Structure 1
Amino acid sequence: MQLAEAGVQNDHAKLERTVSALVAEARAKQHHTLADRLAKALGVVAPPQRQAPRAVGGTFLPDKVRDLIIERPARRSIDDIMLPREVDAQVRDLLEEQHQADVLRANSLDPRHRVMLAGPPGNGKTTLAEAIAHGLGVPFFTIRYDAVIDSYLGETAARLKRVFDFARSTPCVLFLDEFDALGKERGDVHETGEIKRVVSSLLLQMDDLPSYTVIVCASNHPELLDRAVWRRFQLRLELPMPDRADFRRWLDHVGADRKSLGIDPASLARDLEGGSFAEAEEFLLNVKRKIVLAKGDPKAIVTQQLKAWKRRFVPQTGVAEGNGARDTAAQSE
């Protein structure tokens, strides 16, 4: 339907996007002959199938983006992570839309594919992006800002374009962590005109992504993002700091019960409150290491590690500063 509309309207850009989507779908279904014919008809050069460098997950990476993105293995599924119930439901809806993309396109609709994740660090933004890639069974690419951002900002826009051109060529999840590094508010008087042009170029590239390419952006400081950036995202999900009830559910989820730890999970959840899921996961792993190596009383080990846990916020730069931090920590407890 979209192909016919593009032909009737003589809309070459729409025609190219539609055929590119068909090519990607054909390759995903291992119909390489059909994909090559469609690509040739459109004048698109097929990606090399031999002697091309492989990323971590096995995807062929052309030279133009080899140093700009990293492919990470997507090992965790949506069932492996703890999410707020509303966020979990919306992510599952996104996965369902992508899996049923053919049905939607047959009715002149596209699945959602632009996602913004906001919230403090350590609460699952990167893991959620990985889980989306796992659920879709597609490569999981992360942009390397150290390679993309250049002192010559015109080069930054050119490198971004190369990344997005590649992302358009294959179904994937493209992850941009710390997105505020690129998507800053263009009204900021402290930013240069070149930075604003980079943001404008980024927005155009995002708009031009086909729906089989899922772009997931994450920010610890969403207040810094350009207002036009927010409009681009069809899903805007917040991953807040977990509270006591969240930790209680998480402990059940990971199988940390009284029998394994020698302590009431409800009590442990209370003690973990104030930290992030990433910190709590590292705490639990450390406890398990101690239990395995020391072969001691699990409850005594947990109690000892909780003392270290409560000291993790105390700066070590000076006695006076440390005392002030301990006072603050005591008040929060």
Structure 2
Amino acid sequence: MIQFIEEHHRRDLLRSHGVEPRHRLLFVGPPGGGKTSLAEAVATELAVPLLSVRYEGLIGSFLGETAARMEALFDAVRIRPCVLFFDEFDVVAKERGDTHETGEIKRVVSSLLLQVDRLPSHVIVVAATNHAELLDRAVWRRMQLRLELPYPTRAGKVEWLQAWSTRTGVDLGLSPRTIADRLGRVSFAELEEFALDVQRRSILSGPEPDSLAVVQQLLMQWSSRAAVSEE
């Protein structure tokens, strides 16, 4: 991603050599893995607006309606630098070889890919999906940078917890390594949810909370929740 950001910061130099910066990204990973946050970070770093596509306003029920709306969307965004964010991209970019899909969906996918091809490089398309296996094969060819955002590793969880505790001043009671191990496989979104639970309980426990007791109680609750979700 650092190289991608540099390409856009130094796009004039690239263009002086007849080369455009890359501007089509695909983020793949489970829910809560940071795909939306990374798209927001790209927009922030480049100081451009983030435009999130709302599918309920894009997908119509009549023949040709979706393609017309899609064309209007791309015509509107191409006039200024921005990050155009498609969450759950598999909703509109499904594999056209799927025999269960209608001809209308296949036309929508073809229209979408054509519109993406026509976008200038100052419009950065970020497509995110939890189900990469559903995407049309042509999507993979068009995306110039493909990133997998899996569940965080143990080291990633430890680093996040340490940084969060330092930033907020909240005592975690146990070492970040112990908490990371006891939480097991969680996304970054779930990790943040747990940390905020700790902060809330610490605040409500009074001016001198028992941080160890707070964290241990919450870990027991999270362990019970994980057991229920696996059933």
Q: CA deviation at 1:286?
A: 1.1
The residue that corresponds to 1:281 in the other structure is 192
Residue in structure 1 matching 2:72, options 162, 178, 199: 162
Q: 2:224 aligned with 1:311, yes or no?
A: yes
User: Aligned letter for 1:111?
Assistant: P
Report the RMSD for the aligned CA atoms in angstroms: 1.7
Structure 1 segments unaligned to the other structure (5+ residues):
1-90, 316-321, 326-333
* TM-score, length of structure 2 as denominator length: 0.94
| Correspondent of 1:198 among 88, 92, 108 | 108
Measured in 2, the distance between the counterparts of 1:231 and 1:124 equals 23
Supply the distance in 1 between the matched residues of 2:63 and 2:14 (Cα, whole angstroms). Answer: 39
Asked if 1:260 corresponds to 2:171, the answer is yes
* Matched residue, 1:118: 28
State the SS of the aligned residue for 2:165. Answer: coil
Output the CA distance in 1 between the equivalents of 2:63 and 2:50. Answer: 26
Deviation at 1:237, TM superposition (A): 0.2
Residues 266-320 of structure 1, C-alpha deviation per residue, up to 9 Å, x if partnerless? 11111122111101101101110110111220110000011111122344xxxxx
Separation (CA, whole Å) in 1 of partners of 2:69 and 2:163: 41
- Percent of counterpart pairs with the same letter? 54
Distance 1:153 1:144, change over 3 A: farther
Once the 2 structures are TM-superposed, how far is the Cα of residue 246 of structure 1 from its aligned partner? 1.4
- 1:132 and 2:132 correspond: no
Structure 1 match to 2:156: 246
Secondary structure at the counterpart of residue 311 of structure 1: helix
Count the aligned residue pairs: 228
Report whether the alignment pairs 1:141 with 2:51: yes
Instruction: Give the Cα separation in 2 of the matches to 1:122 and 1:311.
Output: 20
**Distance in 2, Cα, partners of 1:96 & 1:153:** 42
- Could you tell me which residue of structure 1 aligns to residue 88 of structure 2? 178
Structure 2: distance between partners of 1:256 and 1:302: 16
Unaligned runs of 5+ in 2: none
Point out the structure with max Rg over C-alpha: 1
Q: Can you list the C-alpha shifts for 1:222-273, whole angstroms capped at 9, x where unaligned?
A: 0000001110000000000112121111112223599812211111111122
Instruction: Tell me how far apart the structure 2 counterparts of residues 254 and 261 of structure 1 sit (CA, whole Å).
Output: 10
Contact 2:170 2:199 in 1 (8 A): no
